[in-house]
Amino acid sequence: MNKSDRRAKKTQSSIKQILIHLLKQKELEKIMVTELCELADINRSTFYSHYCDIYELLDDIEKSCLQEMDEHIEYIANHTLEPEQVTEMILSYIYNTKELLTLFIFKMNEHTIWEEINQKIIRLFKMKTLQIYQLPKYMDEEEFNDLILFLVSGYYAIYKKWLSHNCEEDIKIIAKRTTRLSHICFEKLLIRKIT
């Protein structure tokens, strides 16, 4: 990466941080490019060389967040990990993006980023479950999907509660607790594969 690319990335990162800062104080519709530029110490032409408006900037922030999540998921999918380790990695991602996720969940809940993250977690949860367990004969795919949805909804509620308390509780404690609860369900309802 050359010097001008590094400078552009640094500028974009600064602009994103300023928008996140402003979103804590006011609605997106009330944020002006002029105000953002003043806080970022850039001129309007610099802003417009990167983004056409505030909405495109927000979209870029969401895409970056989801791309980071995809990198976590790819790593988890391609490695043999214990369920508790998987949960710890998801919690680490949430912790590292807590400022942004808190905004999206509690202040800007019309945005669908959390729903997209949740769908990614559901797919990952389903894949990792099927690596360890098989379905009993009485359980069809629809019932299994409902089981996964039921458990992930519980995880979501716990993650949301954790975020609302600024992620103060230790990741390992939450991972251990949630993994234990899901393990009880799986051991009762599914058949562990013999390895």
Q: DSSP readout, 101-132?
A: HHIIIII-TTS-HHHHHHHHHHHHHHHHHHHH
CATH class of this structure's domain 1-51: mainly alpha
Length of the chain: 195
Binned at pLDDT 50, 70 and 90, residue 56 comes out as very high
Identify the CA nearest to 97 among candidates 167, 154, 178, 14: 167
Q: Where are the domains of the chain?
A: 1-51, 61-192
User: Distance between CA 75 and CA 163 in Å, rounded?
Assistant: 24
User: Distance between CA 32 and CA 35 in Å, rounded?
Assistant: 5
Binned at pLDDT 50, 70 and 90, residue 1 comes out as low
Q: How much is the pTM?
A: 0.82
